[in-house]
Amino acid sequence: MPKKEEVRDNERADETPVEEKPRETTIEFLASLAGVLVTGLFIITFILQAFEIPSSSMEDTLLIGDHVFVNREQFAPPSHWMGPLLPYREIRRGDIVVFLSPEEQGLFVVKRIIGVPGDHIHLRDGIVYRNGEKLNEPYALHKLANYNPYRDNFPAVPPSDDYGVRNEQWIQELPAHLEGEDVVVPPNSYFAMGDNRDVSYDSRYWGFIPRKNVIGRPMFIYWSFVTPPNQYEMRSVGDRLGFMAHIIIHFFDETRWSRTLKPVR
């Protein structure tokens, strides 16, 4: 009978030696890092874009100071090489979209799509009717008690400066899109409104959104910070530096942590 020491020696001899994985070289590490950076840069440049909400027109869906990532590809014309990888689709009623303002060059705006091409739209006492049906809009708010005949009964009341309509082109163009009591959305265009209906400066005041102006759809809020309503008007270097200092000092107590990663719907 073999001794215990001999048995242990035989067991060691039968064991297969474990090969150590070769360590990653500096060049391999840098190549991996470059791949990650290039992928991230591609996503930020071509797929996602960051936007800050400057006004209260989309409350309470989006608040002033919400920072959102926008999917730039979902509503873009499908490409041959990226088509199978990305979920392209047409813009639908109820979608929230970011777009270039048809009124002010270079201004990005966010609103909710109420009408797509061919839809008949009108409002009565602040309630939206589309194709003859009253819309159920749980997201719509009416925070002001004041009554505006044009805003609340669009398009029955003719637009004028007395009701806050200062876009002369829209004043001239609107009659051509009327059928009975409705405004009809033309091809390659959309009718949009803000969820905060009493303060939203939207399609009632400047007209339709051209399809080519649509940038994309907000996906989720990645950061939200308590921001003054007029902060977007503060464009001087001193004002911007002052607010940056305020953010640094109050980052933890004025960040709306409960809104972090909240989907936009």
- Contact assessment for residue 224 and residue 59, using Cβ atoms and an 8 Å cutoff: no
Q: What pLDDT is recorded for position 252?
A: 95
- Contact assessment for residue 226 and residue 65, using Cβ atoms and an 8 Å cutoff: yes
The closest of 69, 59, 119 to 91, measured between CA atoms, is 119
Spans of the chain below 70 pLDDT: 1-22, 24, 28-47, 77-87
CA-CA distance, 145 to 109, in Å (whole number)?
25
With respect to residue 12, please indicate whether it lies within any of the assigned structural domains.
no
Report the CATH number that the domain containing residue 108 is assigned in CATH: 2.10.109.10
Q: What pLDDT is recorded for position 29?
A: 59
With respect to residue 236, please indicate whether it lies within any of the assigned structural domains.
no
Q: What pLDDT is recorded for position 172?
A: 95
Q: What pLDDT is recorded for position 63?
A: 96
With respect to residue 246, please indicate whether it lies within any of the assigned structural domains.
no
Q: What pLDDT is recorded for position 144?
A: 85
Q: Which two tokens stand for residue 166?
A: 């200062």
Residue-wise pLDDT for 43-72, tens only, equals 455 567 899 999 999 999 999 999 999 998
Q: What pLDDT is recorded for position 7?
A: 44
With respect to residue 43, please indicate whether it lies within any of the assigned structural domains.
no
- Contact assessment for residue 120 and residue 142, using Cβ atoms and an 8 Å cutoff: no
With respect to residue 204, please indicate whether it lies within any of the assigned structural domains.
yes
Coil, strand, or helix at residue 160?
coil
